[in-house]
């Protein structure tokens, strides 16, 4: 289990990084402002607040995770740091795995800390807090964060220079976060356009699935595992409570999608990295 050495080194190194401290504090600031703001106005509902909180998470978590991990392998490869790790009994697989674990701990730790503070504020301001569901929400958000760390580490392992890793990270963010779920032209409009041309139509279920295939779509739809039916109605998520919805729109299938995003990018990155000439 020699990836432990890589994890140990990385945690020691990264905790002194001002950049990573900064983005951790940023997330804390957003969370505090959010719970303070929603909590101190009117009669707050925890679930509706958490549903709004997913929007904040979708905006910031991918950025934090990508920034925290896009240089994890490529940066060390370009500078020559990697030769320190690889001169010792650490394999290239250990490097990728160790980086994934270490950066997940850092990002996950910062997010978890922000929500501990958020939970304290919620308990203070909100009349009713379901702690179990709050923790489940945090758990899904952490999974979402780790998925993005995973994508960034995989990308970093596949590239040889800092500039390419940065280009890749920006590309990933734009593709998965802007294009897929929030752009006027997105995979669904493209599929619809093609189907129209072919003279057929696309079912709403299929479009919902396509939307959920991105980490962000899967994360938001995975919230049906946490929120009660009343929230689904209030937020207009009809499929969450539709008993006839296909399995691929169920909450558990969202976890399958997230798991795929967690595993596949690092594997592809390792596959490239493992064959690369270093320095």
Cβ distance to another protein smaller for residue 20 or 121 = 20
Q: Least distance from C-beta 237 to another protein, angstroms?
A: 45
- Distance (Å, rounded) from C-alpha 65 to C-alpha 144? 9
Q: Where do we find the tokens 């734009």?
A: 174
- Distance (Å, rounded) from C-alpha 14 to C-alpha 117? 23
Cβ distance to another protein smaller for residue 93 or 207 = 93
Q: Least distance from C-beta 78 to another protein, angstroms?
A: 9
Q: Least distance from C-beta 93 to another protein, angstroms?
A: 10
Cβ distance to another protein smaller for residue 110 or 145 = 110
> By the criterion CB under 8 A, which residues form the site for another protein?
2, 5, 8-9, 12-13, 16-17, 79-81, 83-84, 86-91, 275, 277-279
- Distance (Å, rounded) from C-alpha 107 to C-alpha 153? 13
- Distance (Å, rounded) from C-alpha 254 to C-alpha 48? 21
- Distance (Å, rounded) from C-alpha 41 to C-alpha 171? 39
- Distance (Å, rounded) from C-alpha 272 to C-alpha 267? 9
Q: Least distance from C-beta 2 to another protein, angstroms?
A: 7
Give me the sign of the Cα torsion angle 186, 191, 196, 202.
negative
Q: Least distance from C-beta 162 to another protein, angstroms?
A: 13
- Distance (Å, rounded) from C-alpha 124 to C-alpha 257? 36
Cβ distance to another protein smaller for residue 175 or 271 = 271
Locate 120 and state its tokens.
């304290």
Cβ distance to another protein smaller for residue 53 or 95 = 95
Q: Are 74 and 162 spatial neighbours (Cβ–Cβ below 8 Å)? A: yes
Cβ distance to another protein smaller for residue 90 or 141 = 90
Q: Are 86 and 95 spatial neighbours (Cβ–Cβ below 8 Å)? A: yes
Q: Least distance from C-beta 134 to another protein, angstroms?
A: 35
């Amino acid at each position: 289990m020699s990836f432990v050495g890589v994890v140990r080194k990385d945690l020691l190194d990264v905790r002194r990084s001002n950049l990573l401290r900064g983005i951790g504090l940023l997330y804390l600031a957003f969370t505090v402002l959010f719970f303070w703001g929603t909590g101190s106005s009117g009669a707050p509902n925890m679930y509706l607040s958490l549903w709004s909180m997913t929007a904040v998470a979708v905006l910031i978590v991918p950025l934090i995770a990508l920034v925290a991990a896009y240089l994890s392998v490529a940066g060390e490869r370009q500078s020559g740091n990697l030769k320190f790790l690889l001169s010792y009994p650490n394999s290239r697989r250990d490097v990728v795995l160790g980086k994934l674990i270490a950066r997940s701990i850092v990002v996950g730790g910062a997010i978890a800390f922000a929500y501990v503070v958020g939970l304290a504020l919620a308990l203070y301001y909100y009349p009713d807090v379901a702690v179990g569901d709050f923790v489940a929400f945090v758990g899904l958000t952490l999974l979402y964060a780790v998925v993005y760390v995973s994508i960034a580490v995989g990308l970093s392992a596949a590239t040889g220079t800092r500039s390419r890793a940065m280009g890749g990270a920006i590309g990933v963010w734009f593709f998965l976060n802007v294009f897929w779920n929030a752009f006027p032209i997105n995979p669904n409009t493209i599929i619809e356009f093609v189907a129209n041309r072919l003279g057929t139509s696309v079912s709403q279920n299929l479009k919902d699935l396509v939307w959920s295939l991105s980490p962000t779509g899967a994360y938001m739809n995975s919230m049906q595992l946490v929120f009660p039916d009343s929230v689904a109605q209030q937020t207009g998520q009809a499929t969450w409570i539709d008993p006839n919805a296909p399995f691929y729109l169920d909450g558990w299938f969202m976890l399958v999608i997230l798991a795929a995003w967690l595993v596949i990018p690092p594997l592809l990155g390792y596959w490239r990295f493992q064959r690369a000439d270093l320095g």
